Amino acid sequence: MTELETALAKYLDTKFVSELDLDTVPYRMRPGKEAQKREAMSELENVRDAYADVLRRNTIGISVTGPGTVDFIKKAKEEAEVLVVNVGDFYTRIADRVTPTMGPAAEFGVSQYGMVIQELRAIGGELNVVSMPSPKWSEPVNVGDSQGLLKHITGMVNSSVGLDLVALYVSRQILNQALSIGEERNTVPVVLTGLDEGFEPEFLTKTFHKGRNAVVRTDKEEVTTEFVLETLNNIKKTLKAQKKNNQA
């Protein structure tokens, strides 16, 4: 078994025991099974994190931008079973929390700021982040439509928590996808969308191991299967060369 297969099997076994319905267990066996369930419940997060560590070493991050992004993802899923995460979903989640509080004047004020803080804390709680800097805000501002609100929130968040929290959030989405499908490959390609070009190098470095990332620009709505396969193969060749140099 590969290291990732072993980590996945450990997680699935621990999760199974942690979710055991004690009512289905014969009474005379219940004390022992109850102790096993308590132990599994206490260990589940650690076992999941161990799987996440191995997964991160196995993933390749590919930021895809341009008009051919949708077609690239479609073909990459067909040919390489890539995982796909939209980085913009982080900001959209916060905007969705704020939107119901917006009035007809489209003004972002103290109530909306409070909602941003609440959602950031909720996300931080999910990711076990104990503390984070609060976004800066001074006075109400008209943000216009929903896209204006999203842009305003994106700027607020990036100027405070930076990309650290976003990278953690994306890493958790990758982990959740991997666990949902029982990912156990030695090389796991992950396509990221929604990254601004200026943030790509820093974000990819935070989210993936050094050298295990690439940027793909598309200039047409349609991309060929050959282009997708060539892109993935070139990344793998680069990784093999890096590994060979490190061993030399």
pLDDT in tens, 136-152: 887 889 999 999 999 99
Cβ-proximal residues to 67 (8 Å cutoff; 6+ apart), any chain: 218, 219, 220, 221
The verdict on residue 197 lying in a domain is no
pTM here is: 0.88
Place of tokens 């001074």: 138
Number of domains in the chain: 1
List pLDDT tens digits, range 86-125. Answer: 999 999 999 999 999 998 989 999 999 999 999 999 999 9
Quote the pLDDT of residue 247.
66
Quote the pLDDT of residue 85.
97
The verdict on residue 153 lying in a domain is yes
| Residue 242 in this model has a pLDDT that exceeds 80 | no
* Domain interval for residue 142: 88-165
Banded model confidence at residue 171, pLDDT cuts 50, 70, 90: very high
Find the length of the chain.
248
What is the average pLDDT across 197-210? 86
Quote the pLDDT of residue 234.
87
Taking all residues of the chain, what is their mean pLDDT, rounded to a whole number? 90
The verdict on residue 179 lying in a domain is no
The verdict on residue 114 lying in a domain is yes
The verdict on residue 129 lying in a domain is yes
The verdict on residue 108 lying in a domain is yes
What is the average pLDDT across 2-31? 90
Quote the pLDDT of residue 158.
86
What is the average pLDDT across 15-35? 85
Quote the pLDDT of residue 138.
77
More confident residue, 238 or 191: 191
The verdict on residue 247 lying in a domain is no
Nearest to 211 by CA among 234, 242, 165: 242
